[in-house]
């Protein structure tokens, strides 16, 4: 039996160092953690053309203010590696926070 890495994780090399932008609805002053996680997973899976979304875990809600940053973790079921995902708010349009997601080049230690 061959040891196959999950398709999404093989694509992580493509994602490393790349920026992906998305806009999320924000409440009064913040974007809910669950929404950041969901949108990051969707964008990152689409970037590697995978129907399997990664698991994204963020520590808290993200303040909807330009320049705000937060580090989340990306993992794929079946692989013990966790990759940092750097989230940055790049702009605000009405009630939408526009963010970028950047996957680190190597797994967290």
Is residue 80 assigned to a domain?
Answer: yes
Number of structural domains in the chain = 1
Is residue 39 assigned to a domain?
Answer: yes
> Could you please report the per-residue DSSP string of the chain?
------HHHHTHHHHBT-EEEEEEE--SSEE-HHHHHHHHHHHHHHHTT-SSPPEEE-SS-EE-STT-EEEEEEEETTEEEEEEEEEEEEEEETTEEEEEEEE-SS---
Q: What is the pLDDT of residue 92?
A: 87
Q: What is the pLDDT of residue 1?
A: 41
Is residue 2 assigned to a domain?
Answer: no
Tens of pLDDT, residue by residue, the chain (109 residues): 444 344 454 444 445 444 455 556 555 688 999 999 998 999 888 888 888 889 999 999 999 999 999 999 999 888 888 999 999 998 888 888 888 888 888 888 8
The answer to whether the predicted template modeling score (pTM) of the entire model surpasses 0.75 is: yes
Is residue 69 assigned to a domain?
Answer: yes
Is residue 96 assigned to a domain?
Answer: yes
Is residue 108 assigned to a domain?
Answer: no
Domain extent for 58: 7-103
Is residue 28 assigned to a domain?
Answer: yes
Is residue 47 assigned to a domain?
Answer: yes
Q: What is the pLDDT of residue 2?
A: 42
């Amino acid at each position: 039996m061959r040891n196959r890495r999950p398709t999404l994780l093989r694509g992580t090399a493509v994602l490393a160092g790349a920026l992906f932008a998305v806009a999320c609805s924000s409440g009064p002053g913040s974007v809910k953690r669950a929404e950041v996680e969901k949108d990051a997973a969707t964008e990152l899976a689409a970037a590697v053309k995978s129907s399997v979304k990664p698991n994204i875990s963020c520590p808290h809600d993200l303040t909807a203010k330009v320049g705000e940053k937060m580090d989340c973790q990306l993992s794929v079921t079946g692989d013990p590696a966790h990759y940092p995902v750097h989230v940055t708010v790049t702009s605000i349009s009405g009630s939408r926070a526009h963010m970028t997601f950047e996957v680190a080049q190597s797994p967290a230690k």
